[in-house]
Amino acid sequence: MVSPLDKKLLGDLGLMKGQVLTIALVVAAGIAAYVSLQSTFHSLEDSRDAYYERYRFGDVFVHVERAPESVHRRLEDLPGVARVYTRVLESVTLPVEGLVEPASGTIVSIPGGREPALNGLYLRQGRMPEPGRADEVLLLETFAEAHALEPGDTVPAVINGTLRRLRVVGIAMSPEFIFNMGPGGFGGDDEKFGVLWMDRSVLGPAFDMEGAFNDVVVRLSPGASEAEVIAQVDRLLDPYGTLGAQGRSKQTSNYVLESELAQLSNFATVIPVIFLGVAAFLLNVVLSRLVHLQRPEIATLKAVGYADREIGLHYLKLVSLIVLLGTVIGIGAGAYLGRAMTDLYSDYFRFPVLRYRVDVSVAVASVVVSLAAAFAGALVAVRRIAALPPAEAMRPAPPARYRRTLLERIGLDRFIGPVGRMILREIERRPLRTVLSALAIGMATGILVVGRFNFDAVEHLLDVTFQRSFREDATVAFVRPMPARVVHEIENMPGVLHAEGMRSVPVRARMGHRWRDATLNAYPAGGDLRRLVDVYERETPLPPRGVVLTRKLAEILDVDVGDEVAFEIREGERQTVSVPVSGLIEESFGLNAHIRDDALSRLLGEEPTVNMVLMRIDPLEWQELEQRLIDLPALATIFRPESLIRQFREQSGEMLMTMTLIITLFAATIAVGVVYNNARVALSMRSRDLASLRVLGFTRGEISTILLGELAIQVLLAIPIGLVVGRLLAEAVMSTVDPEMYRLAVVIEPKTYAFAAVVTLASGLLSALLVRRKLDRLDLIGVLKTRE
Amino acid sequence: MGRVTEVLEAQALTKVYRMGEVDVHALRGIDIALHEGELMVLLGVSGSGKSTLLNILGGLDTPSSGRVFYRGRELSGADERELTRYRRDHVGFVFQFYNLMPSLTARENVRLVTDIARRPLTPEEALALVGLGDRMDHFPAQLSGGEQQRVAIARAVAKQPDVLLCDEPTGALDYKTGILVLEVIERVNRELGTTTAVITHNAPIARMADRVVTLADGRIASEERNETRAHAEDLRW
């Protein structure tokens, strides 16, 4: 048996269906964001934890030049150290066929066909290399996939200067390579970063590491202090050329994963808070109005003996139903979106198993959180019911009091007609509602701005990089440094208008205990094809002596102009050179050191060499030229910035479309929710006035102006607020990006602002049209017969 | 005696409302005319159809059948836009519950109408006419019921309408205030010559009319002419 109150509830919901739906959708958007982000976060975190535990991921990592195996024991004896695993780890070049750019990689030793003690391996396919086999390796899954390599295939690798063809016997993954990025890389790149695992008895001798190691993984005892262990390890390994021990937080793959998890977790809080805040506000507005309209009914219920609690509960039930509808839609949509996000992540972060699941606790939490937000919004209105004595409730509410607005009091009333005054006085009577509405709609605008900002920032980066900095039409790269005369050979080829050589060297930049892997780029004097351009698009000249450092690198090393920085060259003779810093440059990505090529060859005591040749070309002769370039000896790759940009824009264009669609839906949900509900409430409050005006001979258009003018002001106030909010959100997003990888300027294109403003206006307009239809059906005669 | 000019004329008016399953016959064939400059009182009990008739004459409602003419032009069959135009230019309304804009002062409530009228009085003139020259800047919440009704009358007459239609103008007022409001209506009719129809269920008010039409059950039950019009101040009930 349905109680009469519950019947009334269903009746009320039916009458309010537009409002019920728009508010439920705002709740749904918040819950969808919450569920999808939380469940993605938990799925990633659980997978990471399981992976780290099962495959014994280390806690502390340290690289040395060369330490005898006897040191292993002394490391293990350090307090706080539970387990020590020593190994040989070196950089390799992987000149795989068909590569667009040279692949770099790491080769890691494994102990005689056994599982490593720490940083274990998950063998995806094939088998472990047999002990003593010099030609067998395991290959990292992502690299294998990117090049379609399978067990039985061979992979070329330049190990300590010697090109070898190695047989892939197994495909593996490891917790230290969940995210793959080579040194100085530009984000993850499966194709251009590979990892090989090889038997230590073979790899050791190749790098002169027999009975010795150059890399250590340490597992801490429970409760041990990471900082103390690092200090002790550094002290112990100091004589062996340590580069300084690092905790997990600095380990590349873990670092990127952690940053992503932190960002997800932030978003999982901020976005739902915005949406549920807006929903709470809307419920407050709508419920306050409903309680006002139902004053006589409430009074009757009280008069016949219903308790305040029962009546209050009745309205809370109404709110709960709206919220639950939103929550159900939200959990469904969130579960779907979360799966899609997790699938995207599984291309990016490699786990043996990345199992997506929506935690029951997340679903329960979303119900609880949304109900709490709704009740917070509804509470004031519901408490007003309880405070109402039945006799008073039966009388109509006292007429609203109005006064002259500030604008009129300062004498601007001459410019405002009665209709304008009605609008302004209504706004001034409820300033908080106007401000909150404008803020809520502003959030929608802000979400639109921040959603598209990433693309603006990357476009700006592309622009600075390829319009101002990388000015060549085409580039050839070599697998090893070539004598400088190759530049002239290329310049003499038909179709080449101009050519310049460049040398880029992987280095470890070091100042005391501080170090970072970086790229040292050498440019010819008077070169024109590569320029140093900072994020503000200012050009920095390259001085004849010393190096210009990426400002971030200088900060990490704590050096300034005039200081000497040590560069450990990580190829060839592997010597260490000391170079004064002659300048700093604010660059968008990577950690670099820039130097003149003659200065570099003086430092290295070598003849000038190049490993890249940059060209200006005649596009009409490109095809024949490309054929000639392919025949160059030791060629690693040929690429054209133009095609890189085109490819990038194609990929990001699709992303931009999808992203724009999703955020537009989310933002429009808020904007429509706020404007529509405010309009409905305003219509309900003003229908009597509006009908009276119609009787007096005002047209439909004229009364629409009165009703919608107030909303138009809210929307117009919201847009500038939203643009500021969007910029602040963009800055907040940027601050969560790893500054050692990207330092994108917060650049927001005018067209992004315009897009956000237009979508907000359009949502407002759409809501206005929905309400306008109701305005046309205003009951003129009905309102004349009743007292408000 | 010259030909009597008819401001409004209705022929064979009927109005049927559908209330759920039941048809309600509010008007069952009414022929009526409103003459230039006269004050007519439409008397009837609640449900007799008088408000329906007034609403149709004022262009707020349309008849189910029959025809309505305003100065010889047919109103029945006019569309929404034409009816709005008609109300805007020619009709002044006064209602039982005043229907003022609570957010506007007395002066501004009148200005609402004078801003869109063709040859209006100034808001100040209209308010002086109803004796509210000194309360022009008060908001409705600051005025008594009688004062609010006088503002409503000022608003109705400020456009100098051809016809003033008053639906139970004293219905929500006490006796003393009611008389005051009727005096204003009487003055508007006499001084401005505005053709006026007043609806009421209060029989004594009929004494102030030129002509009294009584409605019962959707039909005209009687029609009589007062030899002399009583002054509003002399009415008693």
Per residue in A619-630, pLDDT (tens digit) is 999 888 987 887
Name the residue facing A418 among B61, B95, B112 (closest C-beta).
Answer: B112
Query: Would the CB atoms of A697 and B99 count as touching at under 8 Å?
Result: no
Query: In this structure, which amino acid lies at residue A682?
Result: A
Query: What pLDDT does residue A189 have?
Result: 67
* Burial of A222 per CB tally in 10 Å (0-12, 13-18, 19+): exposed
Strands of A151-236, DSSP E: 154-159, 162-173, 193-199, 212-220
Q: Please tell me the predicted confidence (pLDDT) of residue A556.
A: 92
| CA pair distance A364, A384, nearest whole angstrom | 30
Condensed to tens digits (0 to 9), the pLDDT of residues A92-150 reads 878 787 665 557 788 999 998 788 999 999 999 999 999 988 899 999 999 999 899 99
Instruction: Express each pLDDT in A470-518 by its tens digit.
Output: 899 998 888 778 999 999 999 999 999 999 999 988 788 999 888 887 8
Q: What angle do CA A330, A331, A335 make, to 5 degrees?
A: 115
Q: Do B123 and B136 touch, CB atoms closer than 8 A?
A: yes
Which residues make beta-bridge pairs with A61? A217, A246
Closest CA to A667 of A622, A626, A723, A711: A723
Q: Can you tell me the distance from the alpha carbon of B89 to that of B160, in angstroms, rounded to the nearest whole number?
A: 9
What pLDDT digit, counting tens, does each position of A276-305 carry? Answer: 888 888 888 888 888 888 887 888 888 778
Beta strand A60-68 with A246-247: parallel, antiparallel or unpaired?
antiparallel
**Triad A711, A713, A715: Cα angle to 5°:** 70
Contact B88 A696 (CB under 8 A): yes
| pLDDT greater than 60 at residue A44 | yes
Taking the C-alpha atoms of residue A442 and residue A674, their distance in angstroms, rounded to an integer, is 10
Contacts of B172 in chain A (CB under 8 A): 787
**Least confidently predicted of A56-65, A607-616, A763-772:** A763-772
Model pLDDT, residue A184 = 36
Query: What span, in angstroms and rounded, lies between the C-alpha atoms of A494 and A618?
Result: 9
Q: What is the Cα–Cα distance from A524 to A487, expressed in whole angstroms?
A: 11
A193: left (phi over 0), alpha (psi -120 to 50) or beta: beta
Percent of chain A with pLDDT over 70: 95
Q: Sort strands A496-511 and A514-523 into parallel, antiparallel or unpaired.
A: antiparallel
| Confidence at residue A569, expressed as pLDDT on a 0 to 100 scale | 84
Separation between Cα atoms, residue B108 and residue A423, nearest integer Å: 13
Contacts of B17 in chain A (CB under 8 A): none
Q: Is A208 left (phi over 0), alpha (psi -120 to 50) or beta?
A: left
Q: How many C-beta atoms lie closer than 10 Å to residue B220's C-beta? A: 19
Contact at CB, B111 and A786, closer than 8 angstroms: no
* CA A525 remoteness from chain centre: 39
DSSP β-bridge partners for residue B25: B16
Cβ-defined contact of B139 to A401 (cutoff 8 Å): yes
Strands A514-523 and A576-585: unpaired
Residue among B58, B101, B115 minimizing CB distance to A422: B101
Q: Is the pLDDT of residue A397 over 70?
A: no
- CA distances from residue A236 to A69, A210, A240, A247, A627 in whole angstroms, order as listed: 13, 20, 9, 16, 55
Specify whether the CB–CB gap between B184 and B150 falls below 8 A: yes
A168 touches A152 (CB < 8 A): yes
Q: Are A157 and A107 in contact (CB under 8 A)?
A: yes
- Count Cβ atoms below 10 Å from residue A761 Cβ, excluding itself: 17
Task: Determine what percent of chain A is predicted with pLDDT higher than 90.
Answer: 38
Q: What is the DSSP letter of B3?
A: P
Beta-carbon contacts below 8 Å between A and B: 89
Which residue(s) pair with A136 in the sheet?
A167
Q: Which residues of A touch B27 (CB under 8 A)?
A: none
Band of residue A187 on the pLDDT scale cut at 50, 70, 90: very low
Closest of A562, A281, A554 to residue A443, by C-alpha? A281
In angstroms, the separation between the Cα of residue B60 and the nearest Cα of chain A is 7
d(CA A703, CA A691): 9
Partner residue facing B111 (CB), from A418, A695, A788: A418
Chain A: give the shortest CA distance to residue B1, in Å: 35
- Which chain B residues have a beta carbon less than 8 Å from that of A419? 112
pLDDT band for position A307 (cuts 50, 70, 90): confident
Contact present, B210 and B178 (Cβ < 8 Å): no
Q: 3-class SS at A173?
A: strand
pLDDT digits (tens, 9 = 90+) for A423-462: 888 888 888 888 988 998 998 899 889 888 878 887 888 8
Considering only CA atoms, which of B187, B227, B231 is closest in space to residue B208?
B231
Length of chain A counted residue by residue: 788
DSSP string for residues in A475-543: EEEEEEEEETHHHHHHHTSTTEEEEEEEEEEEEEEEETTEEEEEEEEEE-TT--SB-EE-TTS-EEPPP
For Cα atoms A458, A462, A468, give the angle at the middle one, nearest 5 degrees.
Answer: 140
N- to C-terminal Cα distance for chain A? 35
What is the rounded CA–CA span in Å between residue B109 and residue B103? 9
Which chain A residues touch B if contact means CB-CB below 8 Å? Answer: 399-403, 417-419, 421-422, 425-426, 429, 688-689, 692-700, 702, 780-781, 783-788
Q: Residue A130's Cα: distance from chain center in Å? A: 42
Q: How far does B183 lie from chain A, in Å, by closest CA?
A: 23
Test mutation, A692, A700, A786, chain B, max B CBs within 10 A? A692
Interface of B with A (CB under 8 A): 51, 55, 58, 60-61, 80-81, 84-85, 87-89, 91, 93, 95-97, 99-104, 108-109, 111-113, 115-116, 139-141, 155, 167, 172
Query: B80 to chain A: nearest residue by CA?
Result: A699
Decide if A477 contacts A102 (C-beta within 8 A): yes
Which of B61, B93, B103, B159 should be substituted to probe chain A, the one whose Cβ sees the most A Cβ atoms within 10 Å?
A: B103
Q: Which of A54, A116, A49, A114 is nearest to A88 (CA)?
A: A116
**Could you give the 3-state DSSP secondary structure of residue A85?**
strand
Residue A217, classed as helix, strand or coil, is strand
pLDDT of A186 higher than 50: no
**Residue A543 main-chain phi, psi, to 5 deg:** -70, 155
Looking at CA atoms only, how far is residue B56 from chain A in angstroms? 11
The pLDDT score that the predictor gives to residue A469 is 87
φ and ψ at A532, to 5 degrees?
A: -90, 110
Residue A575 has pLDDT above 90, yes or no: no
Q: Minimal Cα distance from B166: which residue of A?
A: A784
Instruction: Provide the ipTM.
Output: 0.86
pLDDT in tens, A3-42: 878 888 888 888 888 999 999 999 999 999 899 999 999 9
A226-240 tens-digit pLDDT:
999 999 998 999 888
For residue A457, the model assigns a pLDDT of 82
Distance in angstroms (rounded) separating the CA atoms of residues A786 and A784:
6
- Give the model's pLDDT for residue A398: 64
pLDDT greater than 80 at residue A785: no
| Eight-class DSSP state of B48 | S
Q: Is the pLDDT of residue A736 over 80?
A: no
B44 has a pLDDT exceeding 90: yes
Q: What are phi and psi of A467, to 5 degrees?
A: -90, -35
